A and B are shown apart, each in its own frame.
Chain A
Amino acid sequence: MSEIRNILIIDDSKVSRMMVKAIAKQHFPDAVVFEAGNGDETLKLEINQELTHIICDYNMPGMDGLTLCEELKKQHPSSYITLLTANVQAATRNKAEDSGIHFTKKPVTEERILSILSK
């Protein structure tokens, strides 16, 4: 994968978005980061470049993160899509993996975010 990272972070927690963005920017200063707080906001974003990574929370107002990721997978088939969630149940993980979505548990840590962004 090229060194360029175009990242979309979706989380209703502004603090989580800030933490993910801070880690991404610290290690990849040229990364372009898009943010949204829920599914509706995400689908309204005008993104005219290929996203390398999509990092999405599960439990959000409106559409849940997994449904959103499945939709985003159609729009951005080459993106590395990860569900980043506090809902660490096997049932949620299995649903994500069955849909071809990667799964990472919260809390946000540098190690976890770097592991995602290195893919």
Chain B
Amino acid sequence: MVELSELQQDMLTELFNIGMGNAASALSEMVSEAILLSIPEVSFMEKSELTNLLEADSGGHISGVSQQFHGLILGQALLTFPTDKSLELVRLLLQDTVPLENLTEFEEEALTEIGNIILNAGLSCLADIFEDEITSDLPIFNSGSCSEVIEHSNQTNSAQQTVLYLQVDFNIEKNDIKGYVMYLFDIQSMDKLATSIESYIEKLTA
């Protein structure tokens, strides 16, 4: 298994920092509110560890939108937020496009589209920096406990136990809505990612 060097990991964090900046800008445009972002955290971990971490942090029921991606790198992108805040997020997105009493009807659709835009913003940034291409599948919406959401959203790599985990917290401060954007990279495609990061570092330092 290829592991990233400290420098490569640092570069990946920085690139995702830029990608998440784009994602936050997109989310901010959607909900017309300022978005606070944490510094990305990158680590290798077992899937079971990841589930425990999220359970501890979110404390229960979450909603999530996931997308499998391929091309430059394989993996799964996941946006999660507490289920009890999801309708508030939808209300911010749709504003007066839909009457308040009909909001629930569009909840899943709206959250899926929010996920699609945010997750793609991060991936697109990575593809552009490496002058490569990342293709993503259609977004899937899930709701339930953390382990349920993670398991249901991971459709292709169910046998894989170790992931490179990258997480950014976002916070719509005014509305007290917190969520997480996560990218779980398939370890098998780590070779290609490491090579791309190395070439990028070489180009920067040439």
Contact = CB atoms under 8 A, between A and B. Distances in A.
Nearest to A105: B26
B117 A106 contact: yes
A107 B30 contact: yes
Contacts, number: 60
B120 A15 contact: no
Interface residues of A, number: 21
> Helix, strand, loop or mixed for chain A's interface?
loop
A89 B128 CA distance: 6
Contacts of A89: 123-124, 127-128, 133-134
Contacts of A87: 120, 124, 136
Contacts of A19: 94, 97
A6 interface: no
Contact of B120 (A13, A16, A86): A86
Interface of A: 12-16, 18-19, 22, 59-61, 86-92, 106-107, 109
Given A92-B133, A106-B26, 17 more contacts: A12-B138, A13-B113, A14-B109, A15-B93, A15-B110, A15-B113, A18-B94, A19-B97, A22-B97, A61-B138, A86-B116, A86-B120, A88-B22, A91-B133, A107-B30, A107-B117, A109-B29
